Amino acid sequence: QVQLVESGGGPVQAGGSLRLSCAASGITYTSYCMGWFRQTPGKEREGVAAIHSSGSTVYDDSAKGRFTISHDNAKSALFLQMNGLKPEDTAMYYCAIQPQLCTAFPWYLPNWYSYWGQGTQVTVSS
């Protein structure tokens, strides 16, 4: 069974950086898309970035130029390096996995993903 566990969130001042990690276990797929999503109370969960097992990446416009998604397939780990953080980046961040190419479905829509982690909170103060 696939399990995803996020870590690395916390409080940070505007302009600062955080690196989120997602430890994955039980992955038997040879081709999959792993994504980072975020959600604030009362709002829909939104896609931030995604990476295919081959290494190709996609980003939401809000993340381009500030966030970098990466992975370590050997360690089944997913990362999100977040620089230049803004108060509007405050949210619960989740990782998710779907056994498809990231371009084969709307990667930014959470309903397409099969497995989710429990989330890690990021709070950016001004």
Confidence band of 26 (pLDDT split at 50, 70, 90): very high
Confidence band of 20 (pLDDT split at 50, 70, 90): very high
Cα–Cα distance for residue pair 114/10, rounded to 1 Å = 26
Q: What percent of the chain has pLDDT over 70?
A: 100
Residue 69's DSSP bridge partners are 80
75 versus 11: which is more confidently predicted? 11
Q: What Rg, from alpha-carbon coordinates, does the chain have?
A: 13
Judge whether 18 and 91 are in contact, CB under 8 Å.
no
pLDDT above 90: residue 30: no
| Residue 50: predicted pLDDT | 97
